[in-house]
Structure 1
Amino acid sequence: MTESSHLIDTQDQLKEFLPALRKTDWVGLDTEADSLHSYPEKLCLLQISIPGKDVLIDPLSSLDISPLFEALNKKELLMHGSDNDLRLMYAANKFVPDRIFDTMWAARVLGFTAFGLNDLLSKLIGITLDKGSQKANWTRRPLTEKMKLYALNDSLHLRSLADLLKTELKTKARLSWHQQICERLIEEHSSNRQLDLDQAWRLKGSSKLTRRSLAILKETWHWREQEAVKANKPPYFIVRHEDLVRLAETVIDRDTKTVWPHKLSTRRFNSLREAVGQALDLDSDNCPEIPQVNRRRIKASEKKLYESLKEIRDKQAEELKIDPTLIASRSTLVKLSLEDGEEKEKILPWQRNLLNL
């Protein structure tokens, strides 16, 4: 950690830092959120490393962080496992980076089987990080010194790591593959993610429920969402997914005692009973439909194409010494083999080339 490392939580401190940020072409960046402790999730901390400076920026203070994101525009952001970081920054300030270099994906493209940040730093640089604050409550203020050190370590070594990986990507002629992956990451995660309320409540295990039980599940799922926001706790900590499904299943089963979730307060239990009652009062026609799975028979020609694509994929992966699913997962191969599918246009150019498509 450099001597100038510190926590920025005032506008004057941010203003003082921004000129140095504007001068650099690259930024090592990581974020911390509160998904294990709050609901909905929010950006709690930004860790930034540039030449000679490593800082923590506190978006939970009264700080206006929009000048920070303006300064980050057009920089190359060095990140590790960037998907959630991109989502958090977009949610916080509609920020869409110009370009990123994701060290996790670089490692995967190079064939590393252990590609966590600690794994890579240990193997390539000989550094082992303390991960003791991994599940810390990042809404906590003031941050402890241990939390600060943990957070800064996640951005501190990204430049050294990225340089090593980029050199190897160039040597193996895979840099363009990685660039395509990073562009797709920005496209998919730096955007509005609208929750599909018609599907979000259809939890694992609900596919066998009756229409009335589906109505109960839908109503109680919305109840749980409201309770989670009120309590500022993740929904799973209010009532587990499987307990909602079990409740929906047993309420109308005359041969089974209704299985209510355990350890609910009187207020919460009564409001849950009301939600169940509203679902029971629904007209049958207004109950959710049971999802229909339309399966058609796979043609012989499609099966033959699938086997051919799998053989090509596996051979390429073995020669390149990379995970075959990087080229195409099993589900992707199935979709590519369907004559009426559009999967070919969805995979990346380097993947199409390796599959001879």
Structure 2
Amino acid sequence: MKADSWLWVDSASKVREAVEDMDQSLLIALDTEYDSLHYFREKLCLVQIRAAKRTYVFDPLNGIDLAFLRPYLADPRLLKITHAGDNDIRILKRDYNFEFNNLFDTQRAAHILGCRYLALSHIVERYLGVEIEKTKKMQRSKWELRPLSEGQLEYAVQDTVYLADLYRQLDERLCQRGMKDQARKVFEEMTAVSWREKTLDSLGHRKIKGYDTLTRDQQERLKRLYRWRFKKAKQTNRAMFLILSDQELLSLSKGKWQSDEELQSANILSSEKTNLYGCELGKTLSAAC
């Protein structure tokens, strides 16, 4: 990846450079990196925008106000290109109250054209003849940690590099097949999406492996533990599995603990989790008796 193909934006002067480039652009490619694995609510970690000259990597965690992007994303004359951009739009709306107009999504366009495999790497290879490597491991890396690795930066920048050329190829084929209006309707629906917080699956406890092996009382205890975990994850903005795993919930539902010491000696939870949650778990389990 060439050093001059992207710019890490961490100062007002670099923001001005990005703005000047976007002002001269007829279209921009947009992508984000966020952590939805470790948090209850997805945490936005990067915003990447490719304009006429290069890709600009904005760090929403370094204190730079990204509100200056609002008129560009809302401008109906400036085309915004995304790939599977639904969640990008939702999170940017949630965090910055942005409005989106004039969108082209390459994944949705490829789907309309009948593509079976819709990952960016597959579509880029099919329509542009370029092989790119996209791994789940990198996608799920800890994007909030700084500094980012060279591999992370290359991954983030690469997501925007091919979108403009891909748009031209896909748009031409949509025109040839008379599918432009169909695609336009899909893209307009995408701009209207909004972020919704996770809601409790009231029957989620029944989906935990081993539920059917429990007694009725134990199933009721599991139900209460499951609901406590959801509430705790929401309160602390941590992924539910980081609070307690499904198997930890199942094991806890089988016993009756009178104290943190008994819970600790049962060797179900780590000392850290027992210290953090022991009192609350005790109350939750007692209520289920």
Q: Do the two structures share a fold, i.e. TM-score over 0.5?
A: yes
Deviates more, 1:15-24 or 1:52-61: 15-24
- 1:266 and 2:271 equivalent? no
1:103 corresponds to which of 99, 102, 106: 106
In structure 2, what residue type is equivalent to 1:90?
K
1:91 aligned residue: 94
Deviates more, 1:225-234 or 1:10-19: 225-234
In structure 1, what residue type is equivalent to 2:111?
R
In structure 1, what residue type is equivalent to 2:161?
L
- 1:9 and 2:10 equivalent? yes
- 1:237 and 2:215 equivalent? no
2:124 aligned residue: 121
Kept in 2: contact 1:42–1:92 (CA 8 A): no
TM-score (norm 2): 0.80
Could you tell me which runs of 5 or more consecutive residues in structure 2 were left unpaired when the two chains were aligned. Answer: 257-265
2:259 aligned residue: none
Deviation at 1:8, TM superposition (A): 0.5
2:284 aligned residue: 275
Q: Which has the larger radius of gyration?
A: 1
| SS in structure 1 of the partner of residue 206 of structure 2 | coil
Partners of 2:158 and 2:27 in 1: CA distance: 17
| SS in structure 1 of the partner of residue 204 of structure 2 | coil
Partners of 1:202 and 1:96 in 2: CA distance: 36
Partners of 1:109 and 1:247 in 2: CA distance: 48
Shift in alpha-carbon separation, 1:145–1:173, aligned structure 2, 3 A: same
| SS in structure 2 of the partner of residue 205 of structure 1 | helix
Count of equivalent residues:
268
TM-score (norm 1): 0.66
For each residue in 1:85-105, what CA deviation from the matched residue of structure 2 results, as whole angstroms up to 9, or x when unmatched?
111111211112112111111
Partners of 2:25 and 2:219 in 1: CA distance: 54
- 1:202 and 2:203 equivalent? yes
Partners of 2:154 and 2:186 in 1: CA distance: 30
Counterparts in 2 of 1:116-195, with a 5 A limit? 116-132=119-135, 133-187=138-192, 189=193, 191-195=194-198
Partners of 1:221 and 1:79 in 2: CA distance: 37
For each residue in 1:223-262, what CA deviation from the matched residue of structure 2 results, as whole angstroms up to 9, or x when unmatched?
32454467764112322346546765x579xxxxxxx994
2:262 aligned residue: none
Partners of 2:168 and 2:185 in 1: CA distance: 18
Kept in 1: contact 2:55–2:161 (CA 8 A): yes
Partners of 1:37 and 1:180 in 2: CA distance: 34
Partners of 1:279 and 1:204 in 2: CA distance: 14
| SS in structure 1 of the partner of residue 196 of structure 2 | coil
Shift in alpha-carbon separation, 1:202–1:76, aligned structure 2, 3 A: farther
Shift in alpha-carbon separation, 1:55–1:261, aligned structure 2, 3 A: farther
Larger RCO, structures 1/2 (Cα 8 Å, 6+ apart)? 2
In structure 2, what residue type is equivalent to 1:180?
K
In structure 2, what residue type is equivalent to 1:263?
L
Kept in 2: contact 1:78–1:159 (CA 8 A): yes
Shift in alpha-carbon separation, 1:200–1:146, aligned structure 2, 3 A: same
Partners of 1:151 and 1:261 in 2: CA distance: 41
Partners of 2:153 and 2:248 in 1: CA distance: 38
Kept in 2: contact 1:38–1:234 (CA 8 A): yes
Partners of 2:156 and 2:268 in 1: CA distance: 37
Kept in 1: contact 2:248–2:269 (CA 8 A): no
Kept in 2: contact 1:203–1:245 (CA 8 A): no
Deviation at 1:13, TM superposition (A): 1.8
Deviation at 1:278, TM superposition (A): 3.0
Deviation at 1:10, TM superposition (A): 2.4
Partners of 2:26 and 2:283 in 1: CA distance: 57
- 1:40 and 2:45 equivalent? no
Partners of 1:113 and 1:169 in 2: CA distance: 16
Deviation at 1:195, TM superposition (A): 4.1
In structure 2, what residue type is equivalent to 1:266?
T
Partners of 1:245 and 1:170 in 2: CA distance: 55
| SS in structure 2 of the partner of residue 142 of structure 1 | coil
1:347 aligned residue: none
| SS in structure 2 of the partner of residue 168 of structure 1 | helix
RMSD: 3.0
Kept in 1: contact 2:7–2:56 (CA 8 A): yes
In structure 2, what residue type is equivalent to 1:143?
L
